[in-house]
């Protein structure tokens, strides 16, 4: 079978099977946002790693090195946040082609360290290699679960309400803007392409959310400590794909109300000049790094006292399918259309 047929998640499933059965101290292994390792009776270590490759995850024509350091750290912090954990230690490895200067590497680490410091985490190691052509980045983050234990993707129950933090779709709309800037002769070299000259501040916000996402570390811990939540994931591949991970691992389905999906005013104000309607970026666009979680109805009142920017967008169902209902009440199948490495057609 070819990689394009198996897809990223089929391949990870094969790797998971090859690792064999899990036994303590491994509480959660391959398949969640981070591994959960019971290192002492009172605490669990959380471990996650993510790679970023030039030409696949980023393009140096529109990414500065500070943002690149920030983002490669943010995506790992976000996986710790998705478990409701406290990030502690970071190891960052880089494969660098000759075209990159020491000053650019220093900027990269300034971005990493600024974000780590804001979360009280620290860089403790990594590896440095030369690369023939592309810049390759790998970050590993270690954290601790807060006292109620880690929140996995597997605990959702029929009847739970589905919530997200913040707004969705900004990051992938921001990416579209940046790509247009590279393609469009009139815009080249400008952060805000010609077409968007009348909506500068809105577009800057979308671009910023793509280049320097804010991992929801504090919110993840607050949610975990509240004991309101059955299952949680961060939205890295897109709402439809990340919800599918919760549904698969919890063996449930979901019904999403399209009208309730939170969209930012920046995305809505820019919508006329984008290739797709805002809902497309929210469902299929990735890299928002917001949290998606499910809550039993008995805990919703408590959840609302936490003072976080949360939106209820749907309900977990017993039948193992994902559906979406639009403003006219039409229900259709919701397919996971977010990012999948090796998939034949990519967004």
Task: List residues near Mg ion by CB under 5 A.
Answer: 33, 79, 234, 236
The rounded distance, in Å, linking the Cα atoms of 311 and 328 is 20
Please state whether beta strands 331-333 and 253-257 pair in parallel, antiparallel, or not at all (unpaired). unpaired
Binding partner at 30 among ligand ADP, Mg ion, none, C-beta below 5 to 8 Å by kind? ligand ADP
Nearer to ligand ADP, 100 or 343 (CB): 343
> Which segment (25-33, 106-114, 163-171, 179-187) binds ligand ADP by CB under 6 A?
25-33
Nearer to ligand ADP, 30 or 258 (CB): 30
> Are residues 200 and 150 in contact, defined by beta-carbon separation less than 8 angstroms?
no
155: which DSSP letter? -
Nearer to ligand ADP, 12 or 268 (CB): 12
32 binds ligand ADP (CB under 6 A): yes
Q: Which are the contacts of 227, defined by CB distance < 8 A and separation ≥ 6?
A: 148, 299
Total length of the chain = 347
> Are residues 217 and 233 in contact, defined by beta-carbon separation less than 8 angstroms?
no
Query: For residues 89-108, which are near ligand ADP according to CB under 6 A?
Result: none
> What is the separation of C-alpha 26 from the centre of its chain, rounded to a whole number of angstroms?
24
33 binds ligand ADP (CB under 6 A): yes
> Which residue in the set 27, 31, 112, 255 belongs to the binding site for ligand ADP (CB under 6 A)?
31
51 binds ligand ADP (CB under 6 A): no
Nearer to ligand ADP, 170 or 242 (CB): 242
Min separation Cβ 35 and ligand ADP, Å? 7
The rounded distance, in Å, linking the Cα atoms of 271 and 275 is 8
Min separation Cβ 32 and ligand ADP, Å? 5
The rounded distance, in Å, linking the Cα atoms of 331 and 307 is 32
298: which DSSP letter? G
15 binds ligand ADP (CB under 6 A): yes
Give the H/E segment covering residue 132.
Answer: none
Min separation Cβ 269 and Mg ion, Å? 29
79 binds ligand ADP (CB under 6 A): yes
Nearer to ligand ADP, 180 or 230 (CB): 230
> Which segment (29-37, 134-142, 168-176, 330-338) binds ligand ADP by CB under 6 A?
29-37
The rounded distance, in Å, linking the Cα atoms of 158 and 319 is 9
225 binds ligand ADP (CB under 6 A): no
Nearer to Mg ion, 67 or 241 (CB): 241
Instruction: Print the SS3 string covering 37-69.
Output: EEEECCEEEEEEEEEEEECCCECCCCCCHHHHH
50 binds ligand ADP (CB under 6 A): yes
Min separation Cβ 138 and ligand ADP, Å? 11
> Which segment (31-39, 177-185, 212-220, 273-281) binds ligand ADP by CB under 6 A?
31-39
Binding partner at 214 among Mg ion, ligand ADP, none, C-beta below 5 to 8 Å by kind? none
Closest among 199, 344, 315, 182 to 264, alpha carbons compared? 199
Min separation Cβ 31 and ligand ADP, Å? 5
Token pair 């549904």 is found at 247
Reduce the DSSP state of residue 294 to 3 states and report it.
Answer: strand
> Which residue in the set 73, 145, 187, 236 belongs to the binding site for ligand ADP (CB under 6 A)?
236
Reduce the DSSP state of residue 32 to 3 states and report it.
Answer: strand
Please state whether beta strands 253-257 and 322-325 pair in parallel, antiparallel, or not at all (unpaired). parallel
Residues near ligand ADP, by CB under 6 A: 12, 15, 30-33, 50, 79, 236
């Amino acid at each position: 079978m070819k990689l394009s047929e198996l897809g990223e998640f089929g391949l990870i499933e094969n790797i998971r099977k090859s690792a064999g059965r899990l036994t303590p101290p491994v509480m959660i292994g391959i398949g969640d946002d981070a591994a959960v390792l019971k290192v002492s009776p009172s605490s669990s270590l959380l471990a996650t790693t993510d790679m970023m490759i030039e030409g696949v995850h980023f393009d140096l024509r529109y990414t500065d090195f500070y943002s690149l350091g920030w983002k490669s750290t943010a995506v790992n912090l976000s996986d710790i946040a998705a478990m409701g954990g406290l990030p502690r230690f970071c190891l960052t490895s880089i494969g660098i082609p000759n075209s990159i200067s020491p000053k650019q590497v220093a900027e990269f680490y300034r971005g990493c360290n600024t974000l780590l410091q804001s979360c009280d985490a620290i860089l403790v190691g990594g590896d440095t290699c030369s690369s023939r052509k592309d810049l390759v980045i790998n970050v590993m983050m270690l954290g601790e679960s807060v006292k109620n234990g880690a929140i996995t993707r597997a605990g959702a129950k029929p009847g739970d309400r589905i919530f997200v933090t913040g707004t969705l779709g900004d990051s992938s709309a921001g990416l579209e803007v940046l790509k247009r800037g590279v393609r469009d002769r009139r815009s080249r070299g400008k952060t805000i392409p010609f077409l968007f000259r009348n909506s500068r501040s809105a577009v800057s916000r979308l671009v910023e959310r793509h280049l320097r996402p804010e991992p929801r570390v504090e919110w993840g811990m607050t949610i975990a400590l509240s004991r309101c939540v059955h299952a949680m994931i961060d939205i890295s591949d897109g709402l439809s794909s990340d919800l599918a991970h919760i549904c698969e691992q919890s063996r449930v389905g979901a019904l999403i109300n399209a009208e309730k999906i939170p969209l930012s005013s920046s995305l809505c104000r820019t919508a006329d000049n984008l290739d797709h309607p805002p809902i497309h970026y929210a469902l299929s666009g990735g890299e928002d790094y917001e949290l998606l979680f499910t809550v039993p109805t008995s805990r919703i009142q408590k959840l609302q006292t936490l003072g976080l920017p949360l939106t209820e967008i749907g309900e977990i169902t017993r039948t193992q399918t994902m559906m979406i209902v639009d403003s006219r009440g039409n229900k259709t199948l919701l397919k996971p259309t977010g990012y999948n490495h090796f998939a034949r057609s990519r967004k």
